[in-house]
């Protein structure tokens, strides 16, 4: 199974390299905003877009696994580019399938397999330094597919979605089992089990996760509209990759600070978690 994962990973890197070379050669019309540091090193957005598309690694060993390197943008995709995107996405889906199977046998098996995979540097990781220490494969960046719009948009408006929270209802019994899985012998888990034991068994609890800020694209077509997240640039299918781009409204590269609004369910949840290890709150 580990050999199969390595084969999938090698196939993915090979297809991404083909896509990178083709985009570099074809130089389609594109929109890909750059930071000042990137602009100073190489002012060519195609260079950085390619680097982003092919980056499958953590930025650092401390990076949260839920956080991915993201950058919005728009790239016109010729028929050959479309074919290469399909091949890349097929490889990503194959890699995801094998990863899920490995995780099903053991989380440790998956982590061991990912650590063993060959990781080479990228311009972005060299830019932030200590490239020799950044050799961990980022599973989400390996498996997120490249978006391709088959209909040519009239316009594309990028916006920040920076106040999202994932709220999952959880029962007292489920919370208890989750705490036990962490380790009943640990003092902080014992304290939380005691708090949980004082609640009525029918209590409704909420497991809350703050979502990382993300850029969303609000795309308008002749036939309607569509919204989608933009962790990577959006490709637009076209017969002429050097035709005019759709009308684009951009956003700053950094998300706005704070949360601009709360959902109705947010207002029903206690401010502080009663089970910090699980990010579990009570409903008020």
pLDDT digits (tens, 9 = 90+) for 58-105: 665 444 555 678 999 999 999 999 999 999 999 999 999 988 887 777
Structure letter (DSSP) for residue 234: E
Check whether 225 has a pLDDT greater than 90. yes
Helical packing angle, 45-54 and 2-26, nearest 10°: 170
The C-alpha atoms of residue 26 and residue 242 are separated, in whole angstroms, by: 9
Check whether 263 has a pLDDT greater than 70. no
Band of pLDDT at residue 126, cut at 50, 70 and 90? very low
Query: What is the overall mean pLDDT for the chain?
Result: 85
Measured CA distances, 157 to 72, 88, 217, 262 (Å) = 11, 26, 6, 23
142 and 50 in a common domain? yes
Q: Tokens 């080479």: give the residue.
A: 120
For residues 5-33, average pLDDT = 95
The C-alpha atoms of residue 30 and residue 244 are separated, in whole angstroms, by: 9
99 and 40 in a common domain? yes
**Picking from 12-26, 72-86, 225-239, 261-275, which range would have the lowest pLDDT averaged per residue?**
261-275
Number of domain units in the chain: 2
102 and 136 in a common domain? yes
108 and 40 in a common domain? yes
* Higher pLDDT among residues 21 and 258, named by residue: 21
The C-alpha atoms of residue 269 and residue 211 are separated, in whole angstroms, by: 16
115 and 85 in a common domain? yes
Q: What pLDDT is attached to residue 133?
A: 36
Q: What pLDDT is attached to residue 116?
A: 62
Check whether 109 has a pLDDT greater than 60. yes
196 and 275 in a common domain? yes
The C-alpha atoms of residue 31 and residue 233 are separated, in whole angstroms, by: 9
Q: What pLDDT is attached to residue 19?
A: 98
Residue 254 lies in a domain: no
Q: What pLDDT is attached to residue 127?
A: 40
Q: Is the dihedral of CA 21, 23, 26, 27 positive or negative?
A: negative
140 and 7 in a common domain? yes
104 and 187 in a common domain? no
Q: Which residues of 112-143 are buried (b: 16+ CB within 10 A; e: fewer)?
A: ebbeebebeebbbbebeeebeebbbbbbebbb
235 and 120 in a common domain? yes
**Is there a contact between 152 and 245 (Cβ–Cβ < 8 Å)?**
no
Name the most confidently modeled range: 47-61, 74-88, 131-145: 74-88
Instruction: Look at strands 280-282 and 205-210 and give their pairing.
Output: antiparallel
Residues 6+ apart with CB under 8 A from 113: 1, 2, 5, 6, 102
The C-alpha atoms of residue 269 and residue 30 are separated, in whole angstroms, by: 43
192 and 128 in a common domain? no
What is the domain range of residue 32? 2-152+230-242
% of the chain with per-residue pLDDT over 70:
81
The C-alpha atoms of residue 157 and residue 72 are separated, in whole angstroms, by: 11
């Amino acid at each position: 199974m580990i050999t199969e994962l390595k084969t999938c990973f090698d196939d993915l890197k090979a297809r991404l390299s083909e896509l990178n070379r083709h985009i570099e050669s074809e130089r389609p019309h594109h929109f890909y905003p750059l930071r000042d540091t990137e602009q100073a090193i190489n002012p060519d957005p195609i260079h950085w877009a390619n680097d982003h598309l092919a980056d499958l690694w953590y930025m650092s060993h401390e990076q949260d696994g839920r956080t991915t390197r993201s950058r919005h943008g728009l790239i016109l995709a010729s028929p050959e580019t479309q074919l290469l995107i399909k091949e890349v996405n097929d490889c990503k889906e194959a890699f995801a399938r094998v990863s899920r199977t490995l995780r099903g046998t053991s989380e440790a098996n998956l982590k061991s397999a990912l650590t063993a995979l060959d990781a080479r540097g990228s311009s972005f990781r060299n830019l932030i330094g200590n490239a020799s220490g950044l050799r961990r494969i980022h599973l989400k960046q390996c498996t997120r597919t490249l978006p391709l719009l088959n209909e040519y948009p009239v316009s594309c408006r990028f916006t920040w979605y920076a106040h999202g929270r994932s709220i999952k209802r959880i029962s007292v019994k489920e919370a208890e089992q989750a705490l036990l899985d962490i380790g009943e012998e640990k003092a902080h888990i014992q304290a939380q089990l005691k708090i949980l034991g004082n609640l009525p068994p029918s209590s409704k609890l909420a497991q809350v996760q703050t979502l990382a800020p993300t850029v969303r694209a609000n795309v308008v077509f002749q036939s309607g509209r569509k919204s989608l997240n933009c962790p990577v640039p959006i490709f637009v299918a076209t017969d002429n990759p050097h035709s005019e781009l759709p009308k684009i409204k951009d956003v700053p590269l950094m998300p706005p600070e704070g949360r601009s609004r709360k959902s109705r369910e947010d207002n029903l949840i206690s401010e502080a978690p009663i089970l910090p290890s699980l990010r579990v709150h009570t409903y008020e």
